[in-house]
Amino acid sequence: MTFNLRFAPSPTGRLHLGNARTALVNWLQARQAGGRFVLRLDDTDRQRSTEAFARSITDDLAWLGIDWDVCIRQSERAALYATAFAGLREQGLVYPAYETAEELADKRAAQRRLGQPPRYDRAALALDAADRAQLEGEGRAPHWRFRLSGAAIAWTDLVQGSVSIGTAALSDPVLVRADGVATYTLASVVDDLECGITQIVRGDDHRTNTAVQIELMRALGGMPPVFAHLPLILGAGGAPLSKRSGDWSLGDWRARGIEPHAIRLYLASLGTDRVAPPETSREALIREFDIGRFGRAGAVFDADQLARMSRAVFRALPLEAVRDRPGCAGIAAAEWAALRPNVADAGELARWLAVLQEPIKPVREDAELLGAAADLLPLALDDASAAAWLGAVQESTGRRGKALYHPLRLALTGRTDGPKLADLLPLLGRERVLRRLRGLTA
């Protein structure tokens, strides 16, 4: 069987980690099965969808290492939706309604005051031809609703297990707005059928939508795919992550230096009973992924855990991969070996490379110590002579511990912490060390 999966973001904002997990899990499922992964931009909301957001989505996915076999845009597929809608209309499964957004809001408010769930009351079904003609004569254009059957829609969910939702408690969904544009509900179902999507993996907040979409798919003569509804990712306060509020956007994490592979590993594990170790390759992640490991409860996002995973992933990178990072192209093997245990990301590594390779103005905190250290400096600095020199300076000056290393570190690196001085000295070289000990820019 061919497995086709899709990720369908709306280009109305930046992707956050919840969106990224949905994309990642669909991609892992598709790649593991040797199937097709479709990127669909749900841009039917003409007011809020922008090309800038569309580009940010594709850029973020590419940075995350998620590729796609085909990319489609709903804004370019209006003819397909019109054809599907015409078929539903011929079957008598849709009906025109004329309420304004304000009138519908008033109805929902009245229902809430009575303790009733907000649900469309199907008032438009009582309109006859004369009523509709009068409303249209007043300038009202109809929106079109799909008449739900009221039946219980059941399916076996790959994460949630057996699910059944009665559509009698739901509002008849709007399929075509008053401006003639298909809504997400119609467009998404038509695209899933036309693209042959066999599995849909998304957040559990779409579970009710699934019942509506299954009924609509059947009305269009299609076979519903297999569904999987992932538990939502929760923030520290227990609320789901939100694209509209900008929670944890991928762009923010990218700017902070978080490794994309760390995000892949973390999101593939979040909400499961397994934590992928940092040395797991992308290929191994695909091979070992199991959607059945996800639990049904919401998973709390831990920024510190992601940061720790990113540090571990970065420190495990081979030299060739490190050289691809901004500011690190010229790093030598010895420099990476010395700096690796003490840096969290490429930005920090680049700053240390600047300390080793570019002139700095030394900080002279203890001139007496620095002078003695300069006088004792050997003619060559390697691992053995560097350690011996530090021992000689200690013996000569009587300085120990912080009194010895703090002034030396400030003079040689301009920083108060970092890798062991004995490891840095051969990388700095004798001439640079001597000049910095003497207080000269080097």
Structure confidence by residue, pLDDT tens digits, 59-100: 999 999 999 999 999 999 999 999 999 999 999 999 999 999
* C-beta pairs of 100-105 under 8 Å, 24+ apart in sequence: 100/140
pLDDT number for residue 58: 97
pLDDT 10s digits, 132-156: 999 999 999 999 999 999 999 999 9
Nearest to 222 by CA among 206, 200, 202, 204: 200
State the average pLDDT over residues 294-317.
Answer: 94
Lowest mean pLDDT among 43-52, 118-127, 307-316, 406-415: 43-52
pLDDT classification of 47: cutoffs 50, 70, 90: confident
pLDDT number for residue 144: 98
State the average pLDDT over residues 311-340.
Answer: 95
Strands (E), 334-430: none
pLDDT number for residue 1: 62
**Pair of tokens at residue 397:** 């000056």
Task: Give percent of the chain above pLDDT 90.
Answer: 92
Domain boundaries, the chain: 1-90+151-167+179-316, 320-357, 367-437
pLDDT number for residue 238: 76
pLDDT classification of 242: cutoffs 50, 70, 90: low
Domain 1-90+151-167+179-316, second-level architecture: 3-Layer(aba) Sandwich (3.40)
Whether 236 shows a pLDDT value over 90: the answer reads no
Q: Report the top-level CATH class of 367-437.
A: mainly alpha
State the average pLDDT over residues 343-362.
Answer: 95
Do the Cβ atoms of 404 and 420 come closer than 8 Å? no
pLDDT number for residue 2: 74
H-type alpha helices, 34-176: 51-63, 78-90, 101-113, 129-137
State the average pLDDT over residues 325-334.
Answer: 94
| Identical fold between 1-90+151-167+179-316 and 367-437 | no
State the average pLDDT over residues 219-223.
Answer: 97
pLDDT number for residue 270: 94
Q: Which amino acid is at 22?
A: T
pLDDT number for residue 170: 96
pLDDT classification of 243: cutoffs 50, 70, 90: low
Integer CA distances (angstroms), 12 to 9, 49, 68, 128, 409, in order: 9, 5, 20, 39, 50
| 320: helix, strand or coil | helix
State the average pLDDT over residues 382-410.
Answer: 96
Rounded distance between C-alpha atoms, residue 416 and residue 407, angstroms:
9
pLDDT number for residue 118: 92
**Pair of tokens at residue 281:** 């390759």
Do the Cβ atoms of 4 and 36 come closer than 8 Å? yes
Chain-wide mean pLDDT for the chain? 94
Whether 159 shows a pLDDT value over 60: the answer reads yes
State the average pLDDT over residues 243-265.
Answer: 83
pLDDT number for residue 404: 97
